[in-house]
């Protein structure tokens, strides 16, 4: 579906705060387009901005100064000769070691960005990528070789989107900034809409737009003026086999590596705090921060009712004597959704983006950097889906359910029954033991599209591109233990495409930098050498990490069942707010897009309103999709009217 009009939409608001953002073009760069892109990136970097345009290249940068707050950190950064120019977003955690290896006398600043310049001079792009450790996305232009390099960190913490058309290559940190470089809105990809509705996100390398791509994690892009860009992986997690150690030795190794990772991420010339959920992962991070600093700032998010984790977060904060701040989510907070949708740039269905957004905004008034517990589940086996995957594998081997279309057969039942674990096992077994997102259709539209699909989705493939990607990862790990297989699939797909994207967008929207100690490559390597029974044992998730928690955290916390942060989505589609939301999702304009059949969607809405079935998360996806269309395709200001209507009924 082509965009209406030649230009990207002008959104009706700006972010309250003005973190690093990068953009650029290779081949006939346009300074005016780069300046417009910078305007879309100001929320990521309020401290400095800079552009460079000459010959075949144009580079632009907005900076949130975290290390070396002086003018020496200004970007695009260059060497003395002007041969190398770099724009960089992120942090290089081993920059001190690399600086010493390169020779400190060569450096003009204390920034980690200069390590990229000096490292490329000395080692070339391959040698540089082999050495750097951190979270990053950067663009580097070599004037002598007439070559541009774009790279993204090993696990996908920092974003890099790009497009190539009419002999010009364009890239940026965000889709809205990239649209300014393109000067138009590309066609919407129906395959991407399907990915979003079934899996709740659009996996890399695709985006919502045809011809616009995300650079996958651990990837290097190379392009020369007038040539087609090439992309290849520069790193894959090593499969070195399990090392024989005792449980105690592994416990000590995890404690040591995690302490080192936290220590590296405390380096900053600005205030540093932590997101504290009250779960094991974030609580361990806070415990290690408290060993290094006399004053630790913690921030927590909760909500009224079942599943609220604020009491656990308070207990941890009290135990370690932190300066603790809390936010409480209520139904009125739904009014921030249009602004959230605008920052993601494409439909993104993880409803936890709302509380993440709110706590990030609150955190920015206290700190500039936060440490998080992200990655603990994907490395140490924290999800209940991991034991389910094992049972599914065993059931699959018995050849039971081999030819049953489980998602269609049980999705409606699984959405209402308390036996969801049984449904998940049966569905995975029927899918060949494969490990897919929301395979029972309890969150997205897997198995439900036949009830609500419009003409543009009728006949759509039952297997999405996200499914294919996860199946490929699953098959590549054949022969390894079921725990390690499931962990690797999530580490290389769900984590970067959903969770890390959510954290980056919601924090950077408020010029807040989030750092994840668990995703240190030393910890990744250690967990891959660790026997699977130290991750999941007899159905108990995160076995070894719980052992560490028993020694470091308040009594009882280590035995808690994982809850996850689930906003009251179901309530948002009932009661006083229901008419305003219904008028958006079931409007003629929404249905005319052709993705949904009105009668089917109305039936789901009625079932949800009468509490016959919980369709809250599916209705959430339809709302996000329609808001995205109105912001990015229609660009008619209707979203602002919806915000006023929503607040009026709140």
Instruction: Kindly list the domain boundaries of the chain, sorted by start residue.
Output: 21-233, 247-380+492-559, 385-462, 569-649
- Cβ-in-10-Å burial (0-12, 13-18, 19+) of 2 comes to exposed
Contact criterion met (CB below 8 Å) for 556 and 549: no
Q: Give the DSSP H/E element, type plus range, for residue 221.
A: strand 219-223
Q: How far apart are CA 624 and CA 605, in angstroms?
A: 15
- Give 440-487 as a 3 state SS string: CCCCCCCCCHHHHECCCCCCCCCCCHHHHHHHHHHHHCCCCCHHHHHH
Cα–Cα distance measured from residue 263 to residue 93, given in angstroms and rounded to the nearest whole number: 10
pLDDT above 60 (res 630)? yes
Q: Which fold has domain 21-233?
A: 3.60.20
Q: What pLDDT sits at residue 19?
A: 44
Nearest to 269 by CA among 20, 95, 512, 69: 69
CA dist., res. 512 & res. 64, Å (int): 9
Q: In 3D, which of 222, 447, 474, 444 has the Cα closest to residue 348?
A: 444
The mean pLDDT value of the chain amounts to: 85
Q: What is the pTM of this model?
A: 0.90
What is the pLDDT, as a whole number, of residue 358? 94
Residues 24 and 87: their CA atoms lie apart, in Å, by 9
**Does position 470 have pLDDT exceeding 50, yes or no?**
yes
Q: Domain 247-380+492-559 maps to which CATH number in 3.50.30.40, 3.40.50.620, 3.30.428.10, 2.40.340.10?
A: 3.40.50.620
The mean per-residue pLDDT over the stretch 250-277 comes to 93
The residues, any chain, with a CB within 8 Å of residue 300's CB and separated by 6 or more, are 275, 276, 277, 278, 309, 310, 313, 314, 317, 324, 325, 326, 327, 359
Going by C-beta distance under 8 Å and a sequence separation of 6 or more, which residues neighbour residue 369?
A: 66, 268, 270, 271, 272, 273, 512, 513, 514, 515
Sign of CA dihedral 493, 496, 497, 500: positive
Which string of DSSP letters, residue by residue, matches 101-169?
Answer: HH-GGG-SSS-SHHHHHHHHHHHHHHHHHHH--EEEEEEEEETTTTEEEEEE-TT--S--EEEEETTEE
Q: Which residues lie below 8 Å from residue 422, measured CB to CB, with a gap of 6+? A: none
290-294, 347-351, 457-461, 626-630: which range is least confident on average? 457-461
- Tell me which of 239 and 314 has the higher pLDDT: 314
Q: Judge if the upstream peptide bond of residue 568 is cis by omega within 30 degrees of 0.
A: no
The alpha carbon of 317 is separated from its chain's Cα centroid by a whole number of angstroms, namely: 26
Mean of pLDDT values over 257-279: 92
pLDDT digits (tens, 9 = 90+) for 122-156: 999 999 999 999 999 999 999 999 999 999 999 99
pLDDT of the residue at 559: 76
**Cβ atoms within 10 Å, residue 608:** 19
CA dist 384 to 10, 249, 563, Å?
Answer: 43, 26, 10
Q: How many CB atoms lie within 10 A of CB 55?
A: 11
């Amino acid at each position: 579906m082509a965009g209406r009009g030649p230009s990207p939409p002008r959104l009706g608001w700006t972010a309250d705060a003005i973190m690093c953002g990068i953009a650029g073009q290779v081949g006939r760069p346009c300074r005016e387009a780069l300046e417009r892109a910078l305007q879309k990136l100001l929320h990521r970097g309020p401290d400095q901005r800079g552009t460079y345009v000459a010959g075949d290249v144009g580079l632009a940068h907005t900076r949130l100064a975290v290390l070396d707050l002086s003018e020496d950190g200004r970007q695009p950064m260059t060497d003395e000769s002007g041969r190398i120019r770099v724009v960089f977003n992120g942090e290089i955690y081993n920059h001190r070691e690399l600086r010493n290896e390169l020779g400190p006398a060569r450096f003009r600043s204390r920034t980690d960005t200069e390590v990229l310049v000096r490292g490329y001079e000395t080692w070339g792009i391959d040698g540089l990528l082999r050495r750097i450790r951190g979270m990053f996305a950067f663009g580097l232009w070599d004037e002598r070789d007439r070559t541009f390099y774009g790279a993204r960190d090993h696990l996908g913490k920092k974003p890099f989107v790009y497009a190539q058309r009419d002999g010009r290559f364009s890239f940026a940190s965000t889709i809205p900034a990239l649209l300014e470089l393109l000067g138009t809105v590309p066609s919407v990809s129906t395959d991407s809409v399907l990915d979003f509705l079934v899996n709740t996100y659009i996996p890399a390398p695709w985006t919502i737009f045809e011809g616009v791509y995300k650079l996958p994690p651990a990837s290097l892009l190379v392009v020369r003026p007038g040539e087609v860009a090439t992309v290849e992986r520069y790193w894959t997690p090593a499969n070195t086999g399990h090392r024989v150690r005792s449980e105690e030795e592994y416990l000590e190794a995890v404690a040591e590596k995690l302490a080192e990772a936290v220590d590296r991420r405390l380096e900053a010339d600005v205030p540093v705090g932590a997101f504290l959920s009250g779960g094991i992962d974030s609580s361990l991070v806070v415990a290690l921060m408290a060993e290094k600093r006399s004053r630790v700032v913690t921030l927590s998010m909760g909500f009224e009712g079942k599943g609220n984790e604020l009491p656990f977060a308070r207990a941890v904060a009290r135990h370690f004597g932190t300066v603790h701040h809390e936010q409480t989510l209520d139904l009125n907070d739904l009014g921030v959704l249009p602004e959230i949708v605008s920052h993601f740039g494409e439909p993104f269905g993880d409803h936890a983006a709302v509380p993440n957004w709110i706590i990030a905004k609150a955190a920015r008034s206290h700190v500039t950097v936060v440490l998080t517990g992200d990655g603990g589940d994907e490395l140490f086996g924290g999800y209940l889906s991991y034991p389910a995957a094992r049972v599914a594998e065993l059931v699959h081997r018995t050849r039971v359910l081999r030819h049953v279309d489980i998602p269609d057969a049980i999705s409606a039942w699984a959405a209402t029954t308390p036996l969801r674990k049984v449904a998940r096992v049966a569905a995975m077994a029927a899918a060949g033991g494969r490990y897919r997102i929301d395979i029972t259709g309890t969150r997205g539209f897997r198995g439900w599209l036949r009830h609500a699909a419009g003409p543009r989705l009728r006949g759509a493939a039952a297997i999405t591109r996200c499914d294919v990607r996860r199946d490929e990862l699953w098959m590549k790990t054949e022969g390894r233990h079921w725990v390690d297989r499931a962990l690797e699939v999530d580490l290389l797909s769900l984590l970067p495409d959903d969770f890390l994207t959510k954290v980056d967008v919601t924090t950077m929207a408020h010029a807040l930098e989030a750092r994840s100690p668990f995703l240190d490559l030393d910890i990744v390597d250690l967990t891959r050498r660790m026997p699977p029974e130290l991750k999941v044992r007899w159905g108990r998730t995160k076995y070894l990490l719980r052992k560490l928690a028993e020694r470091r955290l308040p009594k009882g916390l280590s035995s808690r069942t994982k809850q996850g942060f689930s906003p009251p989505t179901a309530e948002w589609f009932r009661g006083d707010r229901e008419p305003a939301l219904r008028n958006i999702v079931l409007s003629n304009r929404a249905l005319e897009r052709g993705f949904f059949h009105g009668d089917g969607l109305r039936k789901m809405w009625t079932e949800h309103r009468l509490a016959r079935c919980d369709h809250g998360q599916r209705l959430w996806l339809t709302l996000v999709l329609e808001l995205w269309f109105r912001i990015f395709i229609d660009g008619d200001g209707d979203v602002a009217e919806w915000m006023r209507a929503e607040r009026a009924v709140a």
